[in-house]
């Protein structure tokens, strides 16, 4: 299992995050699934092929209960790349869940299964098959005998602002990040408190492949601090970037007189609300008056 898979599962496995994703993507923001109605379900199933026993693993799976009645199993499949065989994968996971129900001696244990495919790609929309018919050619004469099977694909980077605002868990920060990345815009942090700081930082560190997020993740002061927001994360991110960037080239650029780069850096820090003017001046090692003067040279983006 790759570290990317583990990081994604780590955040989504929290009941509040899981319920939030289902409520927004399936029920358009209605709070139908409550976190205390969810219980973990096994993500591993087995099948026999070529005379040998194999196992397959679903990313995240939970049983949604109403009292003591099992209503459904909701599973997530995380994808950062398109998979032409995704319908085959999903039907194998769902089929394993139904097979388990057949083996259960409790006659009242039957329940439907729903699987969500969360696509995190930002370069292009999902064009891979979304049903079984898309995976192979079905002769016209056979179509009425071959059952089709559709899958539910949600393109996280293409969610609109209205939908993203419906999220009430830490997944909102993830959705906003991927939308911003797709639109090639600067990520603007908010003062909303992060509930699962450790899990969120792990996910960002892996999905962004950015060593700065990994550095922030390893900063115990951030993880142990109460009331952490994305502003805190970005401030630490920016500060770390300045300190390391100066060592690796930013300071060289300033010394060589590249004023425009220095000006844009200061303006970006101000727009991102990374700190006070005094703090920014200290980070870039310039007087406060010069920081203010340089910031005025870059027009504010509309």
pLDDT in tens, 164-200: 999 999 999 999 988 998 998 877 878 888 998 888 8
Of 29-43, 96-110, 225-239, where does mean pLDDT reach its minimum? Answer: 225-239
Residues 18 and 135 reside in one and the same domain: yes
User: Which of 172, 188, 204 is at the close of a domain?
Assistant: 188
- Residues 42 and 273: their CA atoms lie apart, in Å, by 43
Q: Which two tokens stand for residue 173?
A: 């920060």
Which pairing describes strands 113-119 and 69-79: parallel, antiparallel, or unpaired? parallel
Q: Which two tokens stand for residue 83?
A: 């998979």
Residues 37 and 52 reside in one and the same domain: yes
Going edge to edge, which strands form the sheet with 152-155? 38-40, 60-66, 69-79, 113-119, 152-155
Residues 181 and 255 reside in one and the same domain: no
Nearest of 14, 2, 1, 289 to residue 174 by alpha carbon? 14
Contact 117, 90 (CB under 8 A): yes
Distance of CA 224 to the CA centre of its chain: 22
User: Which of 127, 154, 188 is at the close of a domain?
Assistant: 188
Residues 74 and 206 reside in one and the same domain: no
Q: Which two tokens stand for residue 293?
A: 């003067």
* Helix H or strand E encompassing 275: none
Q: In this structure, what are the phi and psi dihedrals at residue 203, rounded to the nearest 5 degrees?
A: -65, -45
Q: Mean pLDDT, to the nearest integer, of 75-97?
A: 88
Q: Which domain holds residue 114?
A: 1-188
Residue 301 has pLDDT above 70, yes or no: no
Residue 24 Cα distances to 32, 89, 168, 171, angstroms: 10, 24, 9, 11
% the chain with pLDDT above 90: 32
Residues 249 and 119 reside in one and the same domain: no
Residues 180 and 39 reside in one and the same domain: yes
User: Which of 143, 168, 188 is at the close of a domain?
Assistant: 188
Task: Give the chain's domain count.
Answer: 2
% the chain with pLDDT above 70: 70
Residues 29 and 145 reside in one and the same domain: yes
Residue 71 confidence (pLDDT): 61
Residue 221 confidence (pLDDT): 62
Residues 243 and 160 reside in one and the same domain: no
Whole-model pTM: value is: 0.70
Q: Which two tokens stand for residue 140?
A: 């016209």
User: Which CATH number do you get for residue 138?
Assistant: 3.40.1350
């Amino acid at each position: 299992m790759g570290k990317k898979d583990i990081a994604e599962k780590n955040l989504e496995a929290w009941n509040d995050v899981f319920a939030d994703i289902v409520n927004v993507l399936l029920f358009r923001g209605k709070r139908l699934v409550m976190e205390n109605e969810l219980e973990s379900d096994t993500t591993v199933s087995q099948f026999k092929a070529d005379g040998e026993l194999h196992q397959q693993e679903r990313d995240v799976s939970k049983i949604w209960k109403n009292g003591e009645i099992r209503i459904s199993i909701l599973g997530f499949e995380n994808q950062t790349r398109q998979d032409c065989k995704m319908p085959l994968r999903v039907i194998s996971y769902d089929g394993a869940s139904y097979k388990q129900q057949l083996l259960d001696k409790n006659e009242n244990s039957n329940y439907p299964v729903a699987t969500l495919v969360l696509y995190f790609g930002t370069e292009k929309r999902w064009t891979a098959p979304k049903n079984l018919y898309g995976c192979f050619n079905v002769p016209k004469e056979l179509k009425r005998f071959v059952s089709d099977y559709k899958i539910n694909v949600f393109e996280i980077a293409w969610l609109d602002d209205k939908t993203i605002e419906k999220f009430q868990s830490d997944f909102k920060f993830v959705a906003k990040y991927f939308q911003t990345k797709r639109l090639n815009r600067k990520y603007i942090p908010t003062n909303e408190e992060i509930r699962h700081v450790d899990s969120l930082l792990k996910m960002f560190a892996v999905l962004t492949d950015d060593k700065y997020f990994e550095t922030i993740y390893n900063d115990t002061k951030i993880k142990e601090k109460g009331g952490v927001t994305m502003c805190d994360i970005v401030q630490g991110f920016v500060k770390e970037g300045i300190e390391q960037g100066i060592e690796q080239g930013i300071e060289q650029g300033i010394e060589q007189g590249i004023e425009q780069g220095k000006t844009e850096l200061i303006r970006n820090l101000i727009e991102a609300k990374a700190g006070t003017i005094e703090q920014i001046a200290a980070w870039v090692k310039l007087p406060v008056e010069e920081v203010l003067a340089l910031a005025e040279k870059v027009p504010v983006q509309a």
